[in-house]
Amino acid sequence: MLMLPIVGALLAPLLVRVTKHYAGWLLAAIPLIIFVHFAGMLETVGNARTVSGGFDWAPSLGLRFAWFLDGLSLTFAVLISGIGTLIVIYSGGYLKGHPHQGRFFSFMLLFMGAMLGLVVSDSFLMLFVYWELTSITSFLLIGFDHGREAARRAALQALLVTGLGGLSLLAGLLVVSQATGVSELSALLGAGEALRQSPLYLAALLLVLGGAFTKSAQFPFHFWLPNAMEAPTPVSAYLHSATMVKAGVYLVMRLNPVMGGTAAWETILPLFGGATLAVGAVLAIRQVDLKLMLAYTTVASLGLLVMLTGLGSDKAVEAAALYLIAHSLFKGALFMVAGLIDHEAGTRDVTRLAGLRRAMPVTFAAAMLAAFSMGGLPLFFGFLAKEEIYLAFTETDGWRLLLLAVAIGANALMFAIGFAVALRPFAGAPIATPKHAHEGPASLWLGPVVLGGAGLVAALASATTHRLLSSPTASAVAGTPVDVTISVVPHIGVPLILSALTVALGIAAYLGLDRLRSLTAGVLAGIGWGPDRGFDQALRALLRFAAGLTRIVQSGRLDIYMTATFIAVAAALLVPMIVTGELPSAPVLPALRFYEWAVMAIAVIGLAAVVQARSRLTAIVSLGIQGFAVAVLYMLFGAPDLSFTQFMVETLAVVILALVMTRLRLSPTDHRPLRQQLLDMTIAGACGLAFTLLLLKVTQLPFDDRLSQFFAAYSKTIAHGRNVVNVIIVDYRGLDTLGEIAVVMITGLAILALIRIRSKKTVARASVAEDA
């Protein structure tokens, strides 16, 4: 099933070229097949069973490509594929006639596949790979209209924020694996106590939450999500309802049985979730763009889900599971309504819209169905979620009372925003719009109608919904069996009172929305700075730092590069040996024959000749003396092939360097001041000492001949070569040798280019001189 979106992405451009605007209906068959497949597992998983599988990827490293389906992952898979089916159909109508519609479908299906892979992943490796794929594919979708600077900025911002979070997640998963010894989520669910008792728990928690909070736009990382509204509306609808922004929520819910139940978990999640809930709801009031109004309420809703997951009680977990489903349905519908209004009326500005109910009756009905659920009104699934949220706060203390107040206020504001999007554009007398408003085609209103109606049907058939979706999801999040029983019949008592209070405050906020918008805008203007501006400032500071650092380390002078390189080499070799005390013991001089001593003496004489040389050319030729002396030593110690290679390298090196020196007309003598010469001498001596100590230490360790025995045993039988050294170079290390050849070739081409440039300049100067 995970391969189907990839296949669809490959076929989409061709299908669009052949079938034009009908491609959306045809491509929707792919997520529909996936939806049917996962929906067929609901009964199995609803009976407290799981589905798992996989195959080994790198057995020696303990890495598997594995998948795991329980109530949580299956609910996500059903939502992703089901809503994805409607989004693909909607995209066909929304982007009808767009020159890059085929490319858009490819990106959308890849995004769908990445999100499906994320929620069904079992192995840490598979989870991280798909986690990053969602960031990459969302970057492509958000920046789809790449001709606009705002779209490019939003795409880059989303990629940077979620990409950095991905690195945090990777580090967290590595710490979790180190603390528990497992690398699969299904195994991790049984190692919760070991992880919570580990001294690495807090580090793992902070790193994992870094990934989850950036992905699900928790304060102060919330700013990238509203900016992502630069994407086409189908992307926004899918992004906010069932996919990427809920990836962080999925991760938090998945790890609740493992990392939950601690003071850190029950403090950090409610704190950041509550802050995100409040910030998102307040910022939504300020907006006039329908998509931005909905985007900020998504930020608030994500904060609510994180806050509920962090509370830790079964009722809070039930509320989170219910709200997860409800939000996916009503938010997907409302975003598609906003896009439909923009597509048919030509604007998303709520202050320029009114009286569309007669021109767009089907859209109006779908919008109201979704708004009733978002507002938590009876008979809709959002009502069940809101009732359960308030029921989770019946056992209160001072901390939870504060969170309850935040939840009531934010829910009231989201009530107002929901009806501002669903009612204001349709109510009142019609006003002129940029385009003549009319009902859109079926491909555009089908999605809102289905999702809005699903919010009603799911509540009326709550017993079936809970059995197949809500209870399995809540059980997976809680880590213990949970039976969700709430129905459309209100809870008599505190929850009903709080629900009524929320509706009353929401109606008041809706009626005074314009005044609240002006007040909020004034307060935010007074504050001035925000995380979005902070992101730009941080990015500019990073670029300035990078430019300054580049000017220092990339000055364009080869001598500085070589000095820095050799200092780093000497430090990398000497510092660990000195700090750890792993210096070699005093060596025992070998019993050398007189001619071996003579060769070594020639090498020393060559070194002295290099140091005392008055010209660069003499130094180059003298440098070859050492190389030839080493080649003779190789030959004396029984390595004629290595000796021959050394002779050839030294000969070619001296010849090439000499030719280059003569053609480039460099200064024939060394004009370095004494201070520079002493510095270079010190660095050279440090490097020589470091390599000497390292080689002495290596030779004093016990020799492990397993690799030597392997080469000796298999060079003839596997590689069909008698010369072991040759076999190693051209067979076992064939790619390494190819890389070395490529480096030499590129270096030669670079030298040739320098010589030709020099020659052309010389010819040009000569021509100018002759003309003069």
In tens, the pLDDT along 431-469 reads 999 999 999 999 999 999 999 999 999 999 999 999 999
Please report where in the chains the tokens 């700090």 appear, as a residue.
579
CB 323 within 8 A of CB 385: yes
Three-class secondary structure of residue 110 per DSSP: helix
Q: Mean pLDDT over residues 158-175, rounded?
A: 95
Q: What is the DSSP letter of 349?
A: B
pLDDT at position 771 is 60
Buried b (16+ CB within 10 A) or exposed e, 317-336: bbbbbbbbbbbbbbbbbbbb
pLDDT at position 744 is 83
Q: pLDDT-based confidence at 397, cuts 50/70/90?
A: low
- The CA distance from 699 to 715, in Å, is 25
Name the residue with higher pLDDT: 657 or 502: 502
Give, in degrees to the nearest 5, the angle at Cα 674 between 671 and 677: 80
> Does residue 770 register a pLDDT over 70?
no
pLDDT at position 658 is 73
Q: Mean pLDDT over residues 2-26, rounded?
A: 91
Contacts of 564 (CB under 8 A, 6+ apart): 553
CB 275 within 8 A of CB 219: yes
Please report where in the chains the tokens 């809101």 appear, as a residue.
386
761, with CB counted inside 10 A (0-12, 13-18, 19+), is exposed
pLDDT at position 760 is 63
Q: Mean pLDDT over residues 253-264, rounded?
A: 94
Q: What is the DSSP letter of 18?
A: H
Q: Which two tokens stand for residue 423?
A: 């009612």
Q: pLDDT-based confidence at 721, cuts 50/70/90?
A: confident
Name the residue with higher pLDDT: 583 or 60: 583
pLDDT at position 665 is 58
> Mean pLDDT score of the chain, rounded to an integer?
89
- The CA distance from 470 to 324, in Å, is 9
- The CA distance from 671 to 161, in Å, is 51
Q: Mean pLDDT over residues 702-729, rounded?
A: 83
In tens, the pLDDT along 332-354 reads 999 999 999 999 999 999 999 99
pLDDT at position 466 is 95
pLDDT at position 766 is 61
Q: Mean pLDDT over residues 700-707, rounded?
A: 85
pLDDT at position 245 is 85
Q: pLDDT-based confidence at 593, cuts 50/70/90?
A: confident
pLDDT at position 12 is 94
pLDDT at position 767 is 65
pLDDT at position 395 is 66
Q: Which two tokens stand for residue 66?
A: 């594995």
Contacts of 166 (CB under 8 A, 6+ apart): 128, 131, 132, 135, 211, 215
- The CA distance from 274 to 389, in Å, is 13
Report the percentage of the chain scoring pLDDT > 70.
Answer: 96
Cis peptide before 220 (omega within 30 of 0): yes
- DSSP element (H, E) containing 58: strand 51-58
In tens, the pLDDT along 652-670 reads 887 777 777 766 655 556 6
> Does residue 216 register a pLDDT over 90?
yes
- The CA distance from 420 to 510, in Å, is 7
Question: For residue 53, which amino acid is it?
Answer: G
Q: Which of 286, 494, 294, 474 is nearest to 393 (CA)?
A: 494
Question: For residue 509, which amino acid is it?
Answer: A
- The CA distance from 679 to 682, in Å, is 5
pLDDT at position 619 is 77
Q: Mean pLDDT over residues 17-34, rounded?
A: 93
3-state secondary structure 556-621: CCHHHHHHHHHHHHHHHHHHHHHHHCCCCCCCCCCCCCHHHHHHHHHHHHHHHHHHHCCCHHHHHH
Q: How far from chain centre, in Å, is Cα 636?
A: 57
> Does residue 523 register a pLDDT over 80?
yes
SS3 content of the chain, % helix, strand, coil (to 5): 75, 5, 20
CB 321 within 8 A of CB 398: no
Q: DSSP assignment of 252-277, as one string?
A: HHHHHHHH-SSTTHHHHHHHHHHHHH
Q: Which of 424, 405, 410, 420 is nearest to 282 (CA)?
A: 410
Give the highest mean pLDDT range of 184-188, 548-552, 637-641. 184-188
CB 424 within 8 A of CB 354: yes
Of the candidate ranges 309-313, 340-344, 446-450, 716-720, the one whose mean pLDDT is the lowest: 716-720
User: What torsion, rounded to 10 degrees, do the Cα atoms 86, 88, 91, 97 define?
Assistant: -140
* Inter-CA distances, 82 with 31, 328, 370, Å: 7, 11, 17
Name the residue with higher pLDDT: 185 or 772: 185
Of the candidate ranges 594-598, 686-690, 753-757, the one whose mean pLDDT is the lowest: 753-757
> Does residue 772 register a pLDDT over 60?
no
Name the residue with higher pLDDT: 64 or 561: 561
> Does residue 365 register a pLDDT over 90?
yes
Name the residue with higher pLDDT: 424 or 727: 424
Report the percentage of the chain scoring pLDDT > 90.
Answer: 62
* Inter-CA distances, 653 with 140, 646, 659, 666, 748, Å: 49, 10, 10, 18, 12
> Does residue 756 register a pLDDT over 80?
no
Q: How far from chain centre, in Å, is Cα 371?
A: 33
pLDDT at position 80 is 96
